[in-house]
Amino acid sequence: MSRLTHLDDQGNANMVDVSDKQITFREAVAYAEVQMRPDTLALITEGGHKKGDVLAVARIAGIQAAKRTSDLIPLCHPLMLSKVALELVPNGERNVVEITATCKLSGQTGVEMEALTAATVAGLTIYDMCKAVDKEMVISAVKVLAKSGGKSGDWTAEKATC
């Protein structure tokens, strides 16, 4: 039967021991989106430089957050990402900014948490920069889209909707 890997027999939380795991190439892609009013989205997308800057700040915040994942999530292992990339796409039809984060490394543990942390913090940064004009934004659909590498092999999420 399933049990939570971070809890030992007494139910105490500890870091999982990955000492004996193989070092393999691993990749994970995570998603998040920020829902907002149409006029808020317009403020992000209008004009040349403005668009660049709001999304640029969120992208940088996401990249830096990925590198700090083991500092934020108590039972995550420290690891050395070889790649972090964020794509932020304003979607005018759904009135969201769609955030996709990709992380890679060769190591003993997967990088889903790094990708999720990157996507989430990018979303929080968009929230921060727009909150003066829109208090009702919602960050949602935070999930792993795909992961590869490691013993459990490749995995892709079925289409999930919020």
Report d(CA 33, CA 88) in Å as an integer: 9
Minimum Å gap between C-beta 149 and a second copy is 11
1 is in an annotated binding site: no
Which residues touch 108 (CB under 8 Å, ≥6 apart)? 18, 19, 21, 22, 23, 77, 79
Residue 98 touching a second copy (CB under 8 A): no
Binding positions for a second copy, 5-44, rule CB under 8 A: 5-8, 10-19, 21, 25, 32, 39, 43-44
Write each residue from 48 to 67 as x if it is in contact with a second copy (CB under 8 A), else as -, in one continuous string: xxx-xxxxxx-xxx-xxx-x
Give me the amino acid identity at 33.
Answer: E
Minimum Å gap between C-beta 137 and a second copy is 7
Quote the radius of gyration of the chain (alpha carbons, Å).
Answer: 17
Q: Give the active site residue among 8, 17, 39, 128.
A: 128
What one-character-per-residue DSSP string does 67-122 give? Answer: HTHHHHSTTPPP---SEEEEEEEEETTTTEEEEEEEEEEEESS--HHHHHHHHHHH
Q: Which of 29, 41, 86, 96 binds a second copy (CB under 8 A)?
A: 86
Give me the amino acid identity at 141.
Answer: A
Residue 100 touching a second copy (CB under 8 A): no
77 is in an annotated binding site: yes
Catalytic (active site) residue 154: no
Residue 89 touching a second copy (CB under 8 A): no
113 is in an annotated binding site: yes
Minimum Å gap between C-beta 54 and a second copy is 7
103 is in an annotated binding site: no
Q: What angle do CA 120, 125, 128 make, to 5 degrees?
A: 130
Residue 94 touching a second copy (CB under 8 A): no
Tokens matching residue 35: 């829902």
Which residues participate in the annotated binding site for substrate? 75-77, 113-114
Residues with catalytic roles: 128
